[in-house]
Amino acid sequence: MALDDDKKQNLREFFAASPEEADRKFFGRVANPDRRGFLRKTGLATMGAMLGTSIPFHRNMPIGFVPAAMAQENVLIGKDGLTLLNDRPVNAETPPENLDDAITPTNRHFIRNNGIPPEDVDPATWTLTIDGFVDTQLELTIADLRAQFEVVTMALTLECGGNGRGYFDPPAKGNQWTYGAVACSEWTGVRLKNVLEKAGVQSNVIYTAHYGADTHLSGDPDKLPISRGVPISKAMTDNILIAFEMNGAPLHPMNGAPLRLVVPGWPASTAQKWLTRIELRDQVHDGPKMTGKAYRVPNRKVAPGEKVETEDFVIIERMPVKSLVTFPANGADSGMETEVRGHAWSGDRDVSKVEISIDFGTSWQTAELDAPVNSGAWQNWRANVVFPQSGYYEVWARATDSNGDMQPFAIDWNPKGYLNNTMHRVGLRVS
């Protein structure tokens, strides 16, 4: 009989805290010289029940070993349908067909972590410091934020700068995101601009620096996993939030609970999770993943595979124009007529047009395009398509933004695999 969810969760927590003790108590294994041990019949039955099947090579499993299927369930608790790319740190994307909602549900929002999330995330005791070149240093609780500033709710698009990295040739190092490191949820919080104004922004400030409570993968308390920032001109716009709610509920732990920044239109790495401090600086911030080649692209077109010197990289700011087909799913069967729909977005700009093609780009049909519900939100679109005969088709989508920039069929290669905004293509079998 399979274990119930509570028992599964207790076992996973015990393994995370004390893997060898968990092995001994639950599965009856004791380490031998090569750190492997035999599962007793009852222990083998327990692990099999957790996994839902037998384990042919269980004799080869190391002591303290957590089966990958258990690990995936554990780190994606509260999420539905995400694809786990990495579990240390946790990174998971959402298949396009699971992003069909106009507002992304919390359980479908992607996860991009750089370090280990904090364990103590009590909103009642959480504090945020605003310091650096300010007139008055602030120490604010979440209750202070709610009481002292206007609380607003906005639909805001977050996209990882490496979304689409999996399609670069030659490959770029890093998580091989495909299409699903993007989402547009409703966030509730206070405007960063208002908080900075209360602190008093001094005239020499040019950049913000963001700090979170997550810890470095090495365990070294003196190392930060990531600390990025934005120009002060960007920080003082109206749609950057210090958020404490997501879709009308507290933030999901993997999405930054209990407090985070939400910076729409720029790489989501600037939207610090588990936010504890914002420093105002008189120079471009030089925290982890702000220097070298991190979140930077060459300042010129480069050949695929070309080595680019560090000094020739520039910081990524706004994200490029992009669209996504969320229905039908890639590889689906379709009748002779179907609705095609999805989303489009473009950094700090609006999208002015979305077009689709079913004949490999020879002709294009203009889709119906909604206005953004607020600045920083993606725009939803739809079109009705009639196929001339049965067979294999591809639906291609391309967006054009308010500045006239259009999604390309292919983009120039860059060494870090950033800013891939090639047209989304969905294959269909029509009968």
CATH topology for 322-430? Immunoglobulin-like (2.60.40)
d(CA 257, CA 252): 6
* Coil, strand or helix at 268: helix
Whether residue 419 is predicted with pLDDT greater than 70 in this model: the reply is yes
d(CA 49, CA 1): 7
| Mean pLDDT calculated for residue range 153-176 | 96
Model confidence at 84, pLDDT cuts 50, 70, 90, reads: very high
Q: 289 and 227 in contact (C-beta within 8 Å)?
A: yes
| Mean pLDDT calculated for residue range 364-369 | 98
d(CA 137, CA 140): 10
Relative orientation angle of helices 41-51 and 5-17, to the nearest 10 degrees: 110
Q: What is the pLDDT of residues 95-105, one digit of tens each?
A: 999 999 999 99
Domain boundaries, the chain: 5-72, 111-315, 322-430
**Pick from 178, 186, 161: nearest CA to 104:** 186
Residues 6+ apart with CB under 8 A from 229: 207, 208, 209, 210, 270, 281, 284, 285, 287, 290
DSSP 36: B
First to last CA, the chain: 43
Whether residue 20 is predicted with pLDDT greater than 90 in this model: the reply is no
CATH topology for 111-315? Sulfite Oxidase; Chain A, domain 2 (3.90.420)
Relative orientation angle of helices 41-51 and 68-75, to the nearest 10 degrees: 50
Model confidence at 82, pLDDT cuts 50, 70, 90, reads: very high
